[in-house]
Amino acid sequence: MGIYLSSPKTEKSSEDGENEKLRYGLSSMQGWRATMEDAHAALPDLDGSTSFFGVYDGHGGKVVAKFCAKYLHQQVLKNEVYSAGDIETSVEKSFFRMDEMMRGQRGWRELAVLGDKINKFTGMIEGLIWSPRSADGNDQRDDWGFEEGPHSDFSGPTSGSTACVAIIRNNQLVVANAGDSRCVISRKGQAYNLSRDHKPDLEAEKERILKAGGFIHAGRVNGSLNLARAIGDMEFKQNKFLPVEKQIVTAYPDVNTVDLCDDDNFIVLACDGIWDCMSSQQLVDFIHEQLKTESKLSVVCERVLDRCLAPSTASGEGCDNMTMILVQFKKPLGTTSNASADEQSSESKPADAPEGSESTASTHN
């Protein structure tokens, strides 16, 4: 059955957590795919005032998604502008930092440790043989210097991953996205997209791809990749005369900042395995209906995965890996009165158009 199993793997990995401002639930399921290539990060207390949630949908392998889940939030914290309060720039730089860190001997070694240790066809099995020190030690996690070794000239992985992250600090929500995973907010029950799906046929993506020397065939970059932005996929980032944001495929994220208000119910981050089956508004409606009788958010996520799972692989929809994070805001959200919250709601809506609009509230580029 090619990339599909004869029957789906419906076992789920689920989790719940909370702090004084929010509660979250998440679930992931392999489904019909032969391997599980999604990863995620959920840190309600990234620091004393900040929460971080991320969904990473791998393609061509799982290692880049796992690498991002392990390191991206660390790099957000580490960047010097983060301590100055500039979350937008910090997260943008952290997306590019993932590509930098996955190059060279140390990048190769870390990917080898995170990879499939029984895969005899990728060469990453060598990482179990040549390893000067454990990659699991955290004592030097921020010291990512050059290492000598047989893979010092490693240009980075040919596999890749989407990255869609939400960072919440006080009443501010920062969403950064590269790829076709998506973040949606429910405001008074209305779904608003806080990210844009980066498909090759989008005009801005197409223009960059063609200028960088690539082409689009059957909706895919160079006939192979159905995403225009991703972390990894280094074969599409080899033009030495172009900056990182203008390569055929780029890790450059759209960064969208929204002021939260008391009208905001929850946000959802999910990979395209969910969005292939449900529109943003359909998912928000489904969640609201479930929350009438179910308080455990991971159970709500599990029900979404079950609803999206296809009964067979005939159509292709509902056959992907699925990962979803549901973050519910505790009320009241904050400092505004009801009147000013209504005004703020109007100002910071990603769009006054129906669900599916790709406009955003305020974008940092």
List the one residue out of 165, 198, 168, 169 whose CA is nearest residue 183: 165
Lookup: tokens for 341: 């919250």
Asked whether 199 and 218 are in contact (CB, 8 A), the reply is no
Q: What residues in the chain have per-residue pLDDT under 70?
A: 1-2, 116-143, 333-365
Distance between CA atoms of residues 356 and 358, nearest Å? 6
Distance between CA atoms of residues 184 and 191, nearest Å? 6
**Domains of the chain, earliest start first:** 8-121+153-327 (3.60.40.10)
- pLDDT recorded at residue 363: 40
- pLDDT recorded at residue 116: 58
Kindly give, in sequence order, each residue whose CB lies less than 8 Å from that of residue 209, ignoring residues fewer than 6 positions away. Answer: 200, 215, 216, 221, 228, 248, 249
Distance between CA atoms of residues 298 and 14, nearest Å? 6
List the one residue out of 73, 157, 68 whose CA is nearest residue 107: 157
- pLDDT recorded at residue 138: 39
- pLDDT recorded at residue 117: 52
Distance between CA atoms of residues 219 and 228, nearest Å? 10
Distance between CA atoms of residues 259 and 8, nearest Å? 40
List the one residue out of 132, 90, 264 whose CA is nearest residue 187: 264
Question: Which pTM was predicted?
Answer: 0.86
Distance between CA atoms of residues 191 and 196, nearest Å? 14
- Cα 71 to its chain centre, rounded Å, is 13
Sign of CA dihedral 291, 292, 295, 300: negative
